[in-house]
Structure 1
Amino acid sequence: MDTFSFAAEFHALSDLIKDPDGAEAAAPPPGSVSRPTPGSIGPKELLDVKVPAPKARHDPKEIWREDELEDAVEDDYDDDRQVPSYEFLYKQSVDTADNFLGMGGKDPSSTSCEDLVVRVELPEAASAAELDLDVKDTYLKLSSPHYKLSIHLPHKVDGERGKAKWDASKKVLSITLRIVREDPF
């Protein structure tokens, strides 16, 4: 291949990749080859997009602000009330196909459960009337003259459709909450 045919083919190739709008960029100095940069690739409309600067934080040492936290428990101060003992239990609905044939795809783990039960023992509570219960999607607050409980729940629940049952003989409050499963796919 001779030098003349190589130069002709190179110029023909450069004509193919020229800007179709006809706007010529500044010519490179003689003897040098201009190279595209990542910023020069693509349609002109997309190249002129301005990205807004991030908002400045109030304190440079601050990791997050209180208004950025979701479902923050607001009353975590100590007021000398007791923290009652509590436990998390899980419930799942099974039928005979699940139980005897194993066809429902359910297993005994908590990933197959539909309900979360929070069982709180309140031995000094006189009645359910003195209990104040507030349930959100990720936490639960219970207060009474003797007790105070603020806990984050292990699963996201439907805070609007829970059920609470007071057992006066055992002085136990059972709160049943429907677990909200996020579809991973």
Structure 2
Amino acid sequence: MEPPELGLCSASSLLALSQLLSPPEEEDEDGGRAIGVSSAGPGNIGPPKAAAPTAATQVKYGNSKEIWNAEDVPEDSEYNDDALDSREQPEYEILFKQHVSAEDMFLGMSRKDASTACCEDMLIKIKLPDTKASDITLDIREKVLDLRSPEKKLLLHLPHPVDTKSGKASFFSEKGTLEVTLRMKRELDFINFA
């Protein structure tokens, strides 16, 4: 019959715990013994771990002059909100829209409700008073809306990923409002059948 596994109560774990709890003794200047601060921490309990690779031993990429790979750069990192840009952020509002029919409204034949989980589109209303449509630059990415005008700048991280190929923008100069409608890319679940 084999002895049962000790797991956390193995001899090496108990020894490491013992060393953690009892600080090592050091010699002081007079040659006597003084109790010092332990250099062991919670990471010292258990079997020793392999050392992490240092900068010199890390894997190099294809081109030796590259300092990082494209996968290492976070998505939308080119949109950095720099403090040197003095343009102010315009007021904006995010609304959610869903497509409903008579069956949804009066008969309750679908599982749609008034929550945002049943919405298909995202409507972003941005107030841009005293701005011409030709002065507006709009860039839509999957998770970022980037709007620039001579006086205003808006870098908006969207609450849901959107389809960049299907969307529309309308500028209402009499109200000074830009309305951007974007189709959300969502997982299909029992509520959302779009």
1:129 aligns with 2:125: no
Cross-structure match for 2:77: 72
Distance 1:97 1:144, change over 3 A: same
Q: What is the TM-score with the length of structure 1 in the denominator?
A: 0.62
Contact 2:122 2:183 in 1 (8 A): yes
Cross-structure match for 2:169: 164
Cross-structure match for 2:143: 138
How many matched pairs?
Answer: 130
RMSD over aligned CA atoms reads: 2.7
Distance 1:121 1:103, change over 3 A: same
Letter in structure 2 aligned against 1:164 = A
- What are the Cα deviations for residues 76-97 of structure 1, in whole angstroms up to 9, with x where unaligned? 1131101000010011110010
Of 106, 114, 119, which residue of structure 2 is paired with 1:108?
114
Q: Secondary structure at the match of 1:154?
A: coil
Q: Secondary structure at the match of 2:117?
A: helix
Greater than 6 Å deviation, 4+ residue runs: none
Contact 1:124 1:146 in 2 (8 A): no
Query: Any unmatched runs of 5+ in structure 2?
Result: 4-49, 56-69
**What is the percent sequence identity of the aligned residues?**
42
- Aligned-residue offset at 1:159: 1.4
Cross-structure match for 2:153: 148
Q: Secondary structure at the match of 1:99?
A: helix
Contact 1:98 1:104 in 2 (8 A): yes
1:89 aligns with 2:95: yes
Q: Distance in 2 between matches of 1:166 and 1:56?
A: 54
- Aligned-residue offset at 1:66: 9.1
Superposition map of 1:23-102 within 5 A: 56=53, 67-78=72-83, 79-102=85-108
- Aligned-residue offset at 1:183: 3.7
Q: What is the TM-score with the length of structure 2 in the denominator?
A: 0.60
Q: Distance in 1 between matches of 2:108 and 2:54?
A: 55
Q: Secondary structure at the match of 1:93?
A: coil
Query: Any unmatched runs of 5+ in structure 1?
Result: 1-32, 36-52, 59-64
Contact 1:90 1:110 in 2 (8 A): yes
Contact 1:139 1:152 in 2 (8 A): yes
